[in-house]
Chains A and B, each alone.
Chain A
Amino acid sequence: MQAIPPTYYLMVSLGLVLIGTIGLLTRRNIVIILMSIELILNAVNINLVAFSNAAGNERGQVFAIFVITVAVAEAAVGLGILIALFRNKETVLADEVELLKW
């Protein structure tokens, strides 16, 4: 069976990164932003797994599992903050939350 070359994986992950980055920068809803961040992280995971496969060892996969774990934690914290924010400000829009400035 012909192995899929890493380049393809990279193309997919590049697409995901771009989608995630654009979502991160353009969408106002924090829920969407968090989802965009998940996209970026999963792009990274694809990269890690692809390189792991290409290199023939499991380090990359281990890293990918780490990233998934961290991403879960991040999503939990992020959503927690979001709920707290909503309770206080009754908004989930990032551009309406710009208190921390000079």
Chain B
Amino acid sequence: MNLLDSIWLIPLFPLLGAVVMLLVGKRLDPQAPSQVALAPGVANLPVEDPAHGHGAAPKHGHGHANQGGFGKALISLFCPGMVLLSFLLSAGAVWQLAGRPEKVHEVIKYTWLAGLPFATSSGAAARFAADWGFLLDPLSGVMILVVTGVGFVIHVYSIGYMAHDGGYYRFFGYLNLFIFFMLMLVLANNFALLFVGWEGVGLCSYLLIGFYFHKKSAGDAGNKAFIVNRIGDSSFILGMLLVFATFGTARFLEINQMAASGRFATETAGFGIMTIIALLLFGGATGKSAQIPLYVWLPDAMEGPTPVSALIHAATMVTAGVYMVARSAAIYQLAPNASMIVAVIGCLTAIVAASIALVQNDIKRVLAYSTVSQLGYMFVAAGVGAYWVAIFHLYTHAFFKALLFLGSGSVIHALGGEQDMRHMGGLKARIPITHWTMFIGSLAIAGIPGFAGFFSKDEILWQAYSSPLGSQLLFWMGLVTAGMTAFYMWRMMHMTFYGESRVAPERAAHIHESPPVMTVPLMVLALGSVFAGWIGVPKLWSAFPESFRAFEHWLGPMFAAESAHAGAEHAHSASTEWLLMLLSVATALAGIALARYMYHWNRKAPDAVAASLPGMHRTLANLWYVDKFYGWLFVDGLAKGGGEAMGQFDNTVVDGGVNGTGWLTRLTSSLSIWWDTWIVDGAVRLTGFLVKVLSYPARLLQTGSVQAYALIFVLGVVLLFAYYLSY
């Protein structure tokens, strides 16, 4: 069976799931509407602290049996099942692709945009056309496996996590819809279709962030995500149209071919068309992938249910920007300046987000900023031309970040909705599976050798250092970020799992490990976090055979033309690479040790540090004032001030115009009245007056007296007689 020609089916399974859920799901889960209507406090524990309360937390102590009955069980089977089918089909298709010499397969189903003719900027005739076409190559192969694989695991987890929440069918419908759009995004064979998926995942993100729509903060967060993403998307649209105008097509294969053909010069200086395209596309990526300056929506997106945070806002959707940049690698290759900007922005984002994560107290927000930071790493890799490394980190990150989020969800679940780490602690013994899996995830993200994150992060740092597009500065900033990553992860682990318990007493009695439907996904992802990296072992570890470097062999050839630094790695000696690797491991260990010291041995240290660096601490606690600045500039300044200015404009100019028109109308109408009264009416009345005056003598004849008439009559007869007789 040739699965490669069936790749267009892959997105259709989740679409089917979504359509069924959103059309008939309500009937399957009849208790849903009343539950949705409940206030979050009602659905949760009575001790719910409104400041930290989280509607996501399932009711505690009600057991974990599927209470919804048959319909709910059907949903629980159907929706994850659809994703599983997608995953199996994806795996089969990728397997068949791997067996082929030509690792590109394109399936074009239908013409979508029939195409208006136009001339490209170079004068060639082209059509504004796009197809429902699907492209499977090593890059999209990795992506669909990550999306459907991690997506399936998170679907399974959600069965347990969302079991007691209202809107069960809605949640799964949205999740399936998201998977559908994400698969459209990564399987699209042209920019226009990619954009459909791009917008679709944004929509699902909005819907799921605002899943607890009765909570104002959730609705606001959804709006924020949607609006901030629109800014990026507008940039993406411009970039896409510029691609059309320049290349005359939106098909990736044709674009890559043309870009590699040498028809377009590499723009080493200044802002040529390629640089502008690359920057505009990257502008879209900063929105979707939460980079400076548009990263502010991602931490707020944690208002959504935790599985959503894991799936959309950590593992898959936010990596769409990285994927898109890698997909446009041929364009970035022609614009080294733009690539440099990508790397610098990624690096800055990584370090800024990591620094904010240092002082966050909300367990999900630590992970959210960590995600922003890790996405920054991916852009560093993409910016220095190491696209396969960016995708490699995307792939490993999907495992351990999904694991960490689901683990945090399990912690929140255990504590009945508590998200503030200051009210946690000492949970290790109470929820051991969650602890151990999160421990593995933390090791992986911190970059401890042997775990997934180590391989990808080390490769990024090495590429940042050694690539011709890289620089020592990028490396050192990445290294600092790695240290901070290790620190904040262990800070989180200590505040959550170790030390004495600071859990509110009324919650403490209810702490319990999550049901297997939630812990098994954790374990699966933990396995991934351990072993996923072993297909990207550094070249340096020459003891390992080449099969341990399968990832590079799989993706590398795709970007062979783009790997400008192909020979560069030889320019640096192996000892340098060993040194840098040791340095990064040492930094990670130092971060862990520091966190252990500050949050285990010397518990006064954190406050002491905060007190000795008050400005720094305040800046970090206030998120570098970026959110406040945006609030001041855009919300209060531009939106509110602009609103006031527009109000003024309305009052003076628009209303003035209206009032002026009114005044003018009144003036002309009063002139008109004068004319009517004196000229038109005057003429009419004059006529009447004249008739009245002139008719006066005639009227005298009409006396009303019959005899007077008779007299006149007789006189008339006499006159006539006289007249006739006189002849």
Contact = CB atoms under 8 A, between A and B. Distances in A.
Nearest to A100: B704
A94 interface: yes
27 contacts: A21-B714, A24-B707, A24-B710, A24-B714, A25-B707, A25-B711, A25-B714, A28-B707, A33-B706, A33-B707, A94-B705, A94-B706, A94-B707, A95-B705, A95-B707, A97-B704, A97-B706, A98-B703, A98-B704, A98-B705, A98-B706, A99-B704, A100-B702, A100-B704, A101-B702, A101-B703, A102-B702
Contacts of A100: 702, 704
A25 B709 CA distance: 9
Contacts of B707: 24-25, 28, 33, 94-95
Contacts of B702: 100-102
B699 interface: yes
Contacts of A28: 707
B695 to A, nearest CB: 9
Tier of interface size on chain B: 10 to 19
Nearest to A36: B710
Nearest to A25: B711
Interface string A80-102: 00000000000000110111111
Nearest to B717: A21
Most buried by B among A28, A94, A99: A94
Contacts of B703: 98, 101
B706 to A, nearest CB: 5
Interface in B683-705: 699, 702-705
Nearest to A30: B706
Interface of A: 21, 24-25, 28, 33, 94-95, 97-102
A97 B707 CA distance: 10
Nearest to B695: A102
Contacts of B714: 21, 24-25
Contacts of A24: 707, 710, 714
A31 B711 CA distance: 18
Contacts, number: 31
A21 B704 CA distance: 19
A99 B703 CA distance: 9
A28 B714 CA distance: 17
Report, nearest first, the 8 A-B pairs whose CB atoms are least far apart.
A101-B704, A98-B704, A102-B699, A98-B705, A101-B702, A102-B702, A100-B704, A94-B706
Contacts of B711: 25
Nearest to B699: A102
Nearest to B705: A98
Nearest to B715: A25
Nearest to A99: B704
Interface string B627-648: 0000000000000000000000
Contacts of B704: 97-101
Tell which of B702, B706, B711 has the most Cβ of chain A within 10 Å: B706
A82 to B, nearest CB: 12
A43 to B, nearest CB: 13
A25 B706 CA distance: 9
Given A24-B707, A94-B706, A100-B704, 18 more contacts: A24-B710, A25-B710, A25-B711, A25-B714, A28-B707, A33-B706, A33-B707, A94-B705, A94-B707, A95-B705, A97-B706, A98-B703, A98-B706, A99-B704, A101-B702, A101-B703, A101-B704, A101-B705
A13 B185 CA distance: 125
A100 B705 CA distance: 8
Contacts of B699: 102
Contacts of B710: 24-25
Nearest to A22: B714
Interface string B260-297: 00000000000000000000000000000000000000
Contacts of A98: 703-706
B284 to A, nearest CB: 92
A28 B710 CA distance: 12
A99 B714 CA distance: 22
A102 B711 CA distance: 19
A33 B706 CA distance: 10
A98 B699 CA distance: 14
B334 to A, nearest CB: 104
A95, A97, A100, A102 — most chain B CB neighbours (10 Å): A102
A38 B54 CA distance: 119
A101 B709 CA distance: 11
A94 B714 CA distance: 17
B380 to A, nearest CB: 109
A70 B589 CA distance: 142
A101 B702 CA distance: 5
A29 B703 CA distance: 18
Nearest to A95: B705
Interface string B594-634: 00000000000000000000000000000000000000000
Nearest to A27: B707
A101 B699 CA distance: 8
A9 B703 CA distance: 37
A24 B717 CA distance: 14
Interface in B333-352: none
